[in-house]
Amino acid sequence: MNPIAQGLNQIIGVGNPHLMEMMSDLGKQLFFPKGILSQGAEAKEKAFKMNATIGIATERHRTMHFASIMDHIEGIAPEESLNYAPSSGMLSLRKAWQNALFDKNPSLAGYKISLPVVTCGVTHAASTFADLWINPNDAMVLPDKMWGNYAMIFSIRKGTRLSHYPLFTEKGEFNVEAFEKQLRKESEASGKVTALLNFPNNPTGYSPTVAEADKIIRVLIKLAEEGINVIAVCDDSYFGLFYGEEVFKESIFVRLVNRHSRVLAVKLDGATKENFVWGLRVGFITYGCQAQGDPLKVYEALEKKTAGCIRGNISNASHLSQSVILKSMNDERYEREKKEKFEILKKRAERVREVLGNKRYHEAWDAYPFNSGYFMCIRLKSVDAETLRLHLLNKYGVGLISIGAKDLRIAFSCLEEAEIPELFDLVLQGVNDLTGLLPASPAF
Ligand SMILES: Cc1ncc(COP(=O)(O)O)c(C=O)c1O
């Protein structure tokens, strides 16, 4: 094993030996190479005469560039847009995102978490997480309603066993009992289990209530107390878009930090969905755990392993994207803009709820509970979801996502408020076309 990796493992193992038990074989091998990057950093500090270390090109001591490129990047110097960013991301952005995590999650006050490591969107954060913490055939417990790409990221690429529990009880509450049962079943043989918590959930748009979040947290801590190593990985892609009064408005991550030595909490989040910059591809991985002595030493070692993983994969995320996001976060308009867009999405969610209250839809489908995020999902009672999807697309020019035999996902994030009644009328019309019933008279 590389001596730098050994050194990092030693720091982590001394801080918390259970973290080393949880880490994947690949994770144990990972390290951040000294090589070119550290020599470059040393030269940046000391090479006052000539610095010929980095794999970029300069001209008159400035970053070489085409005017035809820079004409489109107004206000951000080539050094902040065209140069490479560090593998772990721009330090200033990492600090800004960390500060924002404390602001958005008041329960974090007084706790220590790692600096977020920048990834190329949340997808890459999830796949980097898997590299570090998942061995082939490890079980990952997640709900039956999930983002489809988890299958590619975890199952196909890493050989993870995806183990599902029903997200909802008959009453439409979060199914804590099924969640606990599945975690227990999967931890029996190995003494390790990974729970993926994605709230607001894709595809249903559900987030737990305060009472449900408490129960989820209690289950995870109880398992750790019984000697099971628990990794709780929170995919918080849609964080902050919580509409219902009753919803738990922080990340489950923050309630697991420093709770038990056998609990590793990992937060995957990003500017992509939260700040509406999907194509800029900026996400983050943040760690929260318990450690003997100074937890920052353990966090730093975890950050270095994560950066090493990124170095060997995409090398680093777009510097331009990171600069744009940081500048936006530091802009005086930022908080107002966030609130404004939140209100637009919240109103759409409320309109969907209002429209769905109409009895005329009740024979055709049930809506899964939703209170957050970009989506909501309906469960069709009489027609096949894919057949209806194709019919709506071909006859009415309406595009929705079918999931399995019965579920249709509707991204109300992409609908103007005024379009919402018409959309559901068209879905009902489509159902009626397929079941041969008389057309329903429009209610709106
Ligand atoms: C639950 C969930 N996680 C992660 C992602 C990926 O986000 P990103 O665009 O940041 O890779 C998505 C995108 O659809 C998602 O729904």
Query: What is the tens place of the pLDDT at every residue in 360-400?
Result: 999 999 999 999 999 999 999 999 999 999 999 999 999 99
Could you tell me the distance, in angstroms and rounded to a whole number, from the CA of residue 36 to the centre of ligand 1?
33
Whether the pLDDT of residue 313 is over 60: the answer is yes
Could you tell me the distance, in angstroms and rounded to a whole number, from the CA of residue 50 to the centre of ligand 1?
43
Residue 443: what pLDDT? 47
Backbone angles phi, psi at 367, to 5 degrees: -95, 135
Rounded Cα–Cα distance for residues 441 and 37 (Å):
67
Residues 6+ apart with CB under 8 A from 419: none
The arithmetic mean of pLDDT across residues 276-283, rounded, is 98
Q: What letter represents residue 247's amino acid?
A: V
Could you tell me the distance, in angstroms and rounded to a whole number, from the CA of residue 31 to the centre of ligand 1?
27
Q: Which residue has the tokens 């867009």?
A: 341
Rounded Cα–Cα distance for residues 233 and 288 (Å):
10
Instruction: Determine whether the shortest distance from the Cβ of 97 to ligand 1 is under 6 A.
Output: no
Closest CA to ligand 1's atom 7: 122
Instruction: Determine whether the shortest distance from the Cβ of 123 to ligand 1 is under 6 A.
Output: yes
Residue 439: what pLDDT? 54
Residues 6+ apart with CB under 8 A from 213: 248, 252, 255
In this prediction, residue 437 has a pLDDT band, given cuts at 50, 70 and 90, of: low
Q: What is the DSSP letter of 275?
A: T
Could you report the per-residue pLDDT of 129-156, keeping only the tens digit for each? Answer: 999 999 999 999 999 999 999 999 999 9
Instruction: Determine whether the shortest distance from the Cβ of 270 to ligand 1 is under 6 A.
Output: yes
Test site for ligand 1: of 122, 276, 374, most ligand atoms within 8 A of the Cβ: 122
Could you tell me the distance, in angstroms and rounded to a whole number, from the CA of residue 13 to the centre of ligand 1?
32
The percent of residues above 70 in pLDDT, for the chain, comes to: 98
Residue 438: what pLDDT? 53
Nearest-atom number in ligand 1 for the CA of 124 is 11
| E strand or H helix that includes residue 41 | helix 35-46
Cβ–Cβ < 8 Å for 113, 298: no
Q: What is the DSSP letter of 168?
A: B
Instruction: Determine whether the shortest distance from the Cβ of 201 to ligand 1 is under 6 A.
Output: no
Instruction: Determine whether the shortest distance from the Cβ of 372 to ligand 1 is under 6 A.
Output: no
Could you report the per-residue pLDDT of 217-260, keeping only the tens digit for each? Answer: 999 999 999 999 999 999 999 999 999 899 999 999 999 999 99
Per-residue tokens: 298: 């353990």
The arithmetic mean of pLDDT across residues 107-127, rounded, is 97
Instruction: Determine whether the shortest distance from the Cβ of 237 to ligand 1 is under 6 A.
Output: yes
| Measured torsion, CA atoms of residues 20, 23, 24, 28, in degrees rounded to the nearest 10 | -50
| E strand or H helix that includes residue 59 | strand 58-59
Per-residue tokens: 397: 């020019």
Whether the pLDDT of residue 317 is over 90: the answer is yes
Whether the pLDDT of residue 423 is over 80: the answer is yes
Could you report the per-residue pLDDT of 39-72, keeping only the tens digit for each? Answer: 777 777 788 888 888 789 999 989 999 999 999 9
Whether the pLDDT of residue 108 is over 50: the answer is yes
More confident residue, 437 or 62: 62
Cβ–Cβ < 8 Å for 302, 287: yes
N-terminal to C-terminal alpha carbon distance within the chain: 67
Test site for ligand 1: of 119, 149, 278, most ligand atoms within 8 A of the Cβ: 149
In this prediction, residue 268 has a pLDDT band, given cuts at 50, 70 and 90, of: very high
Backbone angles phi, psi at 63, to 5 degrees: -60, 125
Beta bridge partners of 60: none
Cβ–Cβ < 8 Å for 233, 194: yes
Could you tell me the distance, in angstroms and rounded to a whole number, from the CA of residue 122 to the centre of ligand 1?
6
Residue 444: what pLDDT? 45
Burial class (CB within 10 angstroms; exposed 0-12, middle 13-18, buried 19+) of 101? buried
Domain ranges of the chain: 3-32+87-329, 334-435
Instruction: Determine whether the shortest distance from the Cβ of 15 to ligand 1 is under 6 A.
Output: no
Cβ–Cβ < 8 Å for 217, 258: no
The percent of residues above 90 in pLDDT, for the chain, comes to: 91
The arithmetic mean of pLDDT across residues 303-329, rounded, is 97
CATH of 3-32+87-329, one of 3.50.50.60, 3.40.190.10, 3.40.50.720, 3.40.640.10: 3.40.640.10
Instruction: Determine whether the shortest distance from the Cβ of 202 to ligand 1 is under 6 A.
Output: yes
User: In terms of CATH, what superfamily is 334-435?
Assistant: Aspartate Aminotransferase, domain 1 (3.90.1150.10)
Instruction: Determine whether the shortest distance from the Cβ of 204 to ligand 1 is under 6 A.
Output: no
Cβ–Cβ < 8 Å for 336, 330: no
Average pLDDT, the chain: 95
Instruction: Determine whether the shortest distance from the Cβ of 174 to ligand 1 is under 6 A.
Output: no
Could you tell me the distance, in angstroms and rounded to a whole number, from the CA of residue 390 to the centre of ligand 1?
24
Could you tell me the distance, in angstroms and rounded to a whole number, from the CA of residue 266 to the centre of ligand 1?
16
